[in-house]
Amino acid sequence: MSQVVAQGVEGVEMDPYDIGWYVESADEETYGPVSRDTLGRWLEEKAITPNTLVNHCTQPEARPIADQAALKDRLPIEQQTKPVVGDRLEEAWPRKTRDRLALAEGSLPCARHKKPATLVCVRCLAPYCGKCRMKPFKKQFFLCRRCQASVFNRRFGALMLDSLLLVYAPMILTVVVLSFLGVEPTSVQLAMNIISLAALPLLFFRDSLFGGAGPGKRIMGLRVVQTADGHMPLTHIQGVVRWLSQFIPFFNLYDAAVPYRDPLLRRIGDRWAKTRVLDAPRKLEEAREKVARLLLKKGVQPLREVGLTMEELARIA
């Protein structure tokens, strides 16, 4: 990964599976996050069984504890003679936030705060604390709050930049030049209409024409990929479809705001077109290097990967 990590600085090896587990109870309620130690204790107390479904915060799907490579050799899993189902999670799960936090904390520190971490971010690879956690807590986010906000804000910035570069700048320039040349106001108006008409297809195709990232996204370090493989740039048709939602008044405002609260960072337009917006590789590398430096300062050897890549995240439907 980064040069920072490649130097091989001494530090405590980071095990992301030490923290960040969600547990699905038999009544379909989800509890967590909890640490691996808590899972072990619950197994011993028979509050859960090896058949209980769990997923790490970097995993999109839950699997039985006995099938989790990161758990099965580390936890007291007894050989079952007959399959045990059901659990006593409702009793085991404390009412108070402070007690819940104690079940979530492991030995890893938050990359940014002087607090124990409870989850791991799939984008920046940082272990992070409750302060860095996205709300609402009911949803399982793959990214820490900082990363979720970074991607969202840059998308919004890219939209503003594209409107400015492709629509407003040509308009303003035309008005200035035509006025300077002494052209009649009616002709200036006509020229403006032509420009706004020409800008429309440009806005539609701005990302697909430039290999997955229009001027705004390029400046902001973003790219649009297909969910089919999480890697290929969007097609022209996908470019049109993902923009249709932006032409429905009021709905477009709602649609522009939803990616912030969506764990997969989707606009409604992205769902229709089967596209996702990801970081450009260099931008992702920057975010990870920054976290790597913070962790090394705390004596923790940074991660190189967490199992789920951003491209794999983009493939989740």
Residues that bind Zn ion (CB under 5 A): 110, 112-113, 121, 123-124, 128-129, 131-132, 144, 147
Reduce the DSSP state of residue 13 to 3 states and report it. Answer: strand
Scan for tokens 């705060």, then name that residue.
Answer: 113
Tell me whether residue 101 or residue 192 sits nearer to Zn ion (CB atom).
101
Tell me whether residue 124 or residue 241 sits nearer to Zn ion (CB atom).
124
Shortest gap between Cβ of 94 and Zn ion (angstroms)?
21
Shortest gap between Cβ of 289 and Zn ion (angstroms)?
13
Tell me whether residue 100 or residue 123 sits nearer to Zn ion (CB atom).
123
Residue 217, H or E segment:
helix 215-220
Tell me whether residue 132 or residue 313 sits nearer to Zn ion (CB atom).
132
Tell me whether residue 40 or residue 60 sits nearer to Zn ion (CB atom).
60
d(CA 26, CA 28) in angstroms, rounded, equals 5
d(CA 280, CA 223) in angstroms, rounded, equals 6
Shortest gap between Cβ of 245 and Zn ion (angstroms)?
27
Shortest gap between Cβ of 200 and Zn ion (angstroms)?
36
Tell me whether residue 87 or residue 279 sits nearer to Zn ion (CB atom).
279
d(CA 276, CA 207) in angstroms, rounded, equals 12
Shortest gap between Cβ of 238 and Zn ion (angstroms)?
27
Shortest gap between Cβ of 130 and Zn ion (angstroms)?
7
Shortest gap between Cβ of 85 and Zn ion (angstroms)?
36
Tell me whether residue 59 or residue 245 sits nearer to Zn ion (CB atom).
59
